[in-house]
Amino acid sequence: MPSRSALVAVSAAQFAAGLAGQVLALRRRHHFDLPFLTGSPDRVGRDSLWIGSALAAPVWMLAVQGWAVSRLAAGPDEPARRALRLLSAGMVPGYVQERLVRRRLTRGGADPVETPLVVAGLGLAAAMAVLSRPGAVS
C-alpha cells in the first residue's frame, strides 16, 4: 500500500506542474480550448482564475490543491485526501479534453517546453487519482 508521503510527493509535483503551466500559458497567451467552450487570448488571465488555461487547471483548483498538499504533509487528513481525489478526477479529463494538450502529445505538435510540462501534468494528475483513492494510502 502506498504511503501518505508518496501521495504528498506526487501531488506537490503535480501542483508545481500546474503552476508552471499557468505561468507559461499566461506568457504565451494560451487560452483554454475545450470541445464545448473556448476562451480568448485577450482574456487568458481572467479565464485562468475560474476556467483554467490551455496548460493548467484553474487557479481556484490550484489553491485547493496547495491547501490539501500542505494539510496532508502535516499528517493524515481524510478531507485533504478526498480533495486531491476530486481535483485529480477533474484534472485528468481536463487535460485530455484540451485541444493544445492533445496537439502537444503528437509527434508533429511537440514543443520542447510545453510537451514535457503536459506529460508531467497529466501523468502526475493520473498518479494523484490512483494514490488518493479510498484505502490506497496508509
Q: Is the dihedral of CA 68, 8, 49, 122 positive or negative?
A: negative
Lowest mean pLDDT among 21-25, 67-71, 102-106, 133-137: 133-137
List the alpha helices (DSSP H) in the chain.
4-28, 44-50, 59-74, 78-97, 99-104, 114-131
* pLDDT of 10 higher than 70: yes
Query: Is residue 109 in some structural domain?
Result: yes
Query: Is residue 117 in some structural domain?
Result: yes
Query: Is residue 18 in some structural domain?
Result: yes
Share of the chain above pLDDT 90, in %: 93
User: Mean pLDDT over residues 104-127, rounded?
Assistant: 97
Residue range(s) defining the domain that contains residue 94: 4-131
Query: Is residue 48 in some structural domain?
Result: yes
Query: Is residue 105 in some structural domain?
Result: yes
**129-138 residue pLDDT tens:** 999 988 766 5
Predicted TM-score (pTM) of the model is 0.94
Query: Is residue 119 in some structural domain?
Result: yes
Query: Is residue 138 in some structural domain?
Result: no
Number of domains in the chain: 1
**93-112 residue pLDDT tens:** 999 999 999 999 999 999 99
Query: Is residue 137 in some structural domain?
Result: no
Vertex 114, ends 19 and 95: CA angle to 5°?
70
pLDDT given for residue 137 in this prediction: 61
Would you say 125 and 102 are in contact if contact means Cβ atoms under 8 Å apart? Answer: no
Mean pLDDT of the chain: 95
